[in-house]
Every structure is written in structure tokens, then in C-alpha cells.
DNA sequence: ACCTGAACACCGTTCAAGT
DNA sequence: ACCTGAACACCGTTCAAGT
């Protein structure tokens, strides 16, 4: 065929097809050759649009991160930080859970991905606007990320095999663990909500009165030792 | 060579070499062929000891999980749950952080792995012994796991590229984010400790008085709807 | 500029053959 | 029982060739 007069591919089409392939058949099913076949082209064609498979994955990942709602961070001044951080964590988790096979790839940090950086910027800026010291805002953003990623990465309940024999014999307290697989969604969501509530409540207790933000140019994440109260060692 | 009179390989040697290869060169460097080369044999030899690469990875993963200290769960009756859950979470994270390239593989649930099930059994049994209802114990075990895995899986601070240009121009609050890479360890550990303290404190406030355990056979994880107080929706 | 097939250096896994 | 080399069906990526 050689070069058609209308391009067969675009970055958008490739990313959409890759996401669908990962969602339906898993991360290992996403090879450049299979992806190209789905798109009706030959394998090397993809390299006209992405330099490497890794850059392609970056684009797929950033697409998913772009689905996270960040609008709640705009109203931090009037609403405080607890409501926004809770709503943001739920939206973040929902975006990841919609594409569970991608979570290990997502977990590699914001790097240079536009939507990932937009997210980090909104969260950090929102926490600082709410009155948190920069070191605290950095830590809170990080620890919320830990919790959200952990909750999306591999279901807890789904990780138990649905086979009673394995558990009952050897592990005295796991006699009904095989039932967890059935209730996977409710257990995972219940654990997430319980932990989210505990985190926000615990942070409120540790740091009861975040300072009002200082006027002037926006603060940036502190890389220096934290200035707020430290957790107990 | 064919069959030597003393076997060249053993499951233990293979697992140890695989773990070292993953630690030093990353997950993608662990191919059956490279692993075999390190061990001084040809690729297919491994299949005399493991049926598939996946089962080999299971053994590697379980070795790492076996490093987690569980002894604190024995003294729950006298010490309460908060100290043990904190000590356990720290030991768990330390075991994962020692092998960061393996965390995405570790995150796939206990499955049928002996040490992973032993861990789940000890944690669930300890929480129930401390007086938690079974549904609560299940959720607490799950949410702690979320937090520990998230904190080990991809550093928050290390995820930012060490390149000021990228951040300053586009993202108003990330002007110093590039410095995070330098302080990776202290930021990650500070965030972990802050979150851990908040979680334990938040759980204590939500459920101030866990019931004493009922006598009789050990309880099992409840797959039924949780019986304790629910988090706010 | 954008696609192709051929080619390179890899994979995981199977299997007959050797001792 | 435990190792070998050959082989199969895959990979990601490069590249000259086509329009």
C-alpha cells in the first residue's frame, strides 16, 4: 500500500485502540504487532507516530489520568481541604479502577506527562491554598496517592483464590477467605472508604488548624525538611 | 553435558538468582534465557524446576513476603492493635522497598502463595484477637495493604523528573518539584509515616472500643456486609 | 510524510535426545 | 531425573523501499 493520501493512523486512534486492548485482554496482550493488527496496519507503522512502545504507553497512561476530576480544588478557599481531598481521591480511584490492567504502568510517577503534572499541580496548589505548609502539602499529596494507587492496584478481595481447600487446612483464620472473591467489589470499596475516612480524620487531628495561605506568588513543593508538626516516630 | 550426577540447579538457587537479577537490572531483564545464563545452564533447564515463568515469579514473590515480620501479632492480647499494626506496616513496607522492581508483581494478591497466606492469616487473626469484628478486620487488613503497596510501588518523589524547565513554565505550583528527586527517601518515608499515623489514629477514632474477642473457634473473614459503623458516604 | 516487508536480536515454551 | 540443542510462535525495533 505504501503511503495513503489520508493517513491511516493518528496518535489518538492508536492510544484509543491500545487502551481498549489493555482493558479487554490485559497488559501482556498489548504488543506493537497485535495493536497494529487491530488497527489494520503492519507493526512498524506505529513508529511513525511514537518513537517507542514506552512513549505510546505514556500517552495511554496520561489519557487515563486526564479522566480524573480536579474541579474540586478550585473551591478550597471556601470549602476547606477535607471535602476536596475526599472527592478527588474517589475520582482518582474511579479512573484507575476503570482500567485496572494499567495501574502498574500508571504507578511510575508523573514524569513528563501533561495530565499527571496538571493533577499534581492542582492538588499541591489546592492544599497550599487551604493553608497547609508546603512540606505538609507535599506529604499529603504523596500519601493520598499511595492509598489510591494501592487500592486500585490488584484487588484485595479478588486476590484470594476461590478454593476453600487451600485456606481451611493450613491457615486457621482464613476459613472463609475464598468467599471474598464473590464480594470483591463491596469489600474493596468498603476498605477504600474506611481508609479514606480514617486518613482525612487522622490528618485533621494531627494538624487541626492549617494556616491561611500567605499572599504573593504561589508556593512550590518544599524539598527541604518539613516544617509542620512531625508524626510520632 | 546432559544430566550431571549432582544437579546443577535447585529451586532455591533459581529463586535467589532471579531476585538478584530483578533487583540489579529490573523486571524486564528477567528472562528465562538470561536467568539461565547467570546460572550457567541453558534456558530450557529451568523448566525442570518450574512449570512456567509465572510459577517461578510466584516463588520469588513469596520469598520477599517471607521477610515480613509477623511476630508482633502474637502479643495483641496485651498490647492492643495499634502498636502491632504500625510495626507490621513498617516491616511490610521495608520488605517491599528492598525490592522495588518486584512490587507490581507482588501486588497481585496472595493467591496460593504460602507466605502471603501466612501473612493474611496472622493479620486477620491478630485484629480479631484484638477485638475487631470480622468485617472490620477484613477491611483494615485490606486498607493497610493498599497503603503499604502504594507507598512501595513507585516512589512519589522519584517520579518527578530532575529537570526544572519542564515544571516551572506550565505548572504554577510545581516550581521546585524537580528538587524532589534529591530528597526522595526522606519525602517518601515522611509521607508514609504521616499517612500511617493518620490511618491508625483515624481508625481509633472511628471505632473507639473494639469488642473483646468471643471465645470458641477462630473467626474467619466476613464476606457479608460489614457489621461495624460505616464510613460517611 | 507515512506505509510496507524483510531482517535483527530477542522472548517463553516444547520436545526429542542424551546420560 | 535433569540437562542439551533445535525448533515454534512470538516480541520491539530498524531500515531500505515504495508512493
Top residue of A85, A113, A195 to mutate, by most chain B CBs within 10 Å, is A195
* Predicted pLDDT of residue B233: 29
pLDDT for res A206: 83
Q: Return the closest-CA partner of residue A140 out of B14, B179, B192.
A: B192
Give the class (CATH, top level) of A11-64: mainly alpha
Q: Which residues in chain B (135-194) have CB-CB distances under 8 A to chain A? A: 135, 138-151, 153-161, 166-167, 170-177, 179-180, 182-183, 186-188, 190-194
Supply B213's cell numbers.
Answer: 474477642
> pTM value?
0.89
Q: Does domain A69-206 have CATH number 3.90.420.10?
A: no
Check whether residue B232 has its CB closer than 7 Å to nucleic acid strand C: no
Instruction: Name the residue ranges covered by the structural domains of chain B.
Output: 11-64, 69-206
Contact of B107 with A154, CB cutoff 8 Å:
yes
Q: Quote the minimal CA–CA distance from A222 to chain B in Å.
A: 7
Tens-place pLDDT, residues B1-55: 677 889 999 999 999 999 999 999 999 999 999 999 999 999 999 999 999 999 9
Residues B173-195: tens digit of each pLDDT: 999 988 888 888 899 999 999 99
Candidates A112, A151, A173; nearest CB to B125: A173
Are A127 and A141 within 8 A, CB to CB? yes
Mean pLDDT of B86-114: 91
**Partner-chain contact A220 B150, CB within 8 Å:** no
Determine which helix (DSSP H) or strand (DSSP E) holds A152, and give its type and residue range: helix A134-152
Nucleotide nearest to B56 (CA to C1'): C12
Each residue's pLDDT tens digit in chain A (233 positions)?
A: 677 889 999 999 999 999 999 999 999 999 999 999 999 999 999 999 999 999 999 999 999 999 999 999 999 988 899 999 999 999 999 999 999 999 989 887 777 899 999 999 999 999 999 999 999 999 999 999 999 999 998 677 778 888 887 888 889 999 999 888 888 889 999 999 999 999 999 999 988 767 665 554 444 554 444 433 333 32
Name the strand (E) or helix (H) holding B73: none
DSSP B78-106: HH-SHHHHHHHHHHHHHHHHTSGGGHHHH
CA of A50 to C1' of C18 (A): 48
Distance between the alpha carbon (CA) of A52 and the C1' atom of D13, Å: 8
Amino acid at each position: 500500500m505504501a503511503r495513503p493520501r489520508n493517513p491511516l493512523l493518528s496518535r489518538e486512534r492508536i492510544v484509543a485502540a491500545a487502551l481498549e486492548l489493555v482493558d479487554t485482554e490485559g497488559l501482556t496482550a498489548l504488543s506493537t504487532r497485535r495493536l497494529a493488527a487491530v488497527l489494520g496496519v503492519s507493526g512498524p507503522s506505529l513508529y511513525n507516530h511514537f518513537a517507542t512502545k514506552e512513549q505510546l504507553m505514556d500517552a495511554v497512561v496520561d489519557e487515563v489520568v486526564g479522566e480524573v476530576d480536579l474541579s474540586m480544588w478550585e473551591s478550597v478557599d471556601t470549602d476547606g481541604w477535607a471535602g476536596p481531598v475526599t472527592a478527588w481521591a474517589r475520582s482518582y480511584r474511579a479512573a484507575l479502577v476503570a482500567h485496572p490492567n494499567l495501574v502498574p504502568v500508571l504507578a511510575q510517577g508523573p514524569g513528563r506527562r501533561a495530565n499527571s503534572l496538571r493533577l499534581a499541580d492542582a492538588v499541591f496548589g489546592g492544599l497550599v491554598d487551604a493553608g497547609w505548609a508546603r512540606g505538609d502539602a507535599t506529604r499529603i499529596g504523596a500519601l493520598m496517592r499511595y492509598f489510591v494507587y494501592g487500592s486500585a492496584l490488584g484487588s484485595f478481595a479478588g486476590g484470594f483464590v476461590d478454593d476453600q481447600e487451600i485456606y481451611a487446612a493450613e491457615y486457621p483464620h482464613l476459613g472463609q477467605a475464598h468467599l471474598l472473591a464473590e464480594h470483591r467489589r463491596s469489600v474493596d470499596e468498603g476498605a477504600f472508604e474506611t481508609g479514606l475516612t480514617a486518613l482525612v480524620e487522622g490528618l485533621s487531628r494531627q494538624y487541626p488548624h492549617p494556616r491561611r495561605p500567605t499572599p504573593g506568588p504561589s508556593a512550590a513543593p518544599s524539598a527541604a525538611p518539613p516544617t509542620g508538626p512531625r508524626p510520632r516516630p
